[in-house]
Structure 1
Amino acid sequence: MTRYLISFDDGTMNIPAEELPEVAEAAHAVMRQAQDAAVWVSGGGLQRQQASVVATDGTVSDGPYPETKAVVGGFSIIDVPSREDALKWAAKFAAACRCAQEVREIMHDPDV
């Protein structure tokens, strides 16, 4: 099995506030499907523009950052047999969240 990161850019989820509860329930339903299928590893929504950047010298820069900076709005990590399976799950999340999803393979590290 291979792990995949499914994520979306915060700026792509343009949903009226009154529709957010419906979108959240749809996303949670897909998450429960992934749990039931035993492919769910982790995931969640991220607080908008709240990243801290830690430099190699330990210096910390805290957000919020300008709206022009792309940030991850939410993510799911799944463990599936193939990229095709990951793309199918991403399609489910895209429909539920009403926005495109990015899919990236997480590199296998034999030491972990």
Structure 2
Amino acid sequence: MSKYLISFPSAAMRVGEDELAAVGDAARAVVREAKDAGVWVFGGGIDESVPPVLVDREGRVTDGTYPQTTRIEGGYAVIEVPTREAAVCWAARLADACRCAQELRVFGDDPDS
């Protein structure tokens, strides 16, 4: 079994205010189905009102982030499924619910798990 990250940036979801409740309901329905199927690991959205910080190895906190990751926002889900095809199916279901394409990435296997 492999873990997959399914995500989208906030700007990709272009729905009107009148559609937000329906999109939220549809996305939560897919999440419930993934949980019922036993493939859900974790998910959520980035709180864009809280700016990122960098924490170094001594625990010092600096405002900001790496230049290449200044725009990490939106929604994220991690699932664990036996095949890439299964991951594509779940990503398609989330794309339909959120009304925008989803990015799919596979995590490297954890040798200790």
| More off after superposition, 5-14 vs 51-60 | 51-60
Shift of 1:47: 1.6
* Stretches (4+) displaced over 2 A: 48-51, 55-59, 69-72
Aligned residues of 1:6 and 1:77 also touching (Cα < 8 A): yes
- Aligned-residue identity in percent: 45
Q: How does 1:14-93 map to 2 (within 5 A)?
A: 14-48=14-48, 50-54=50-54, 56=56, 58-62=60-64, 70-93=71-94
* TM-score using structure 1 length: 0.84
Gaps in structure 2 of 5+ consecutive residues:
none
* TM-score using structure 2 length: 0.84
SS of residue in 2 equivalent to 1:38: coil
Shift of 1:31: 0.4
RMSD, matched Cα = 1.9
Q: How many residues align?
A: 107
2:30 partner letter: V
1:60 partner letter: T
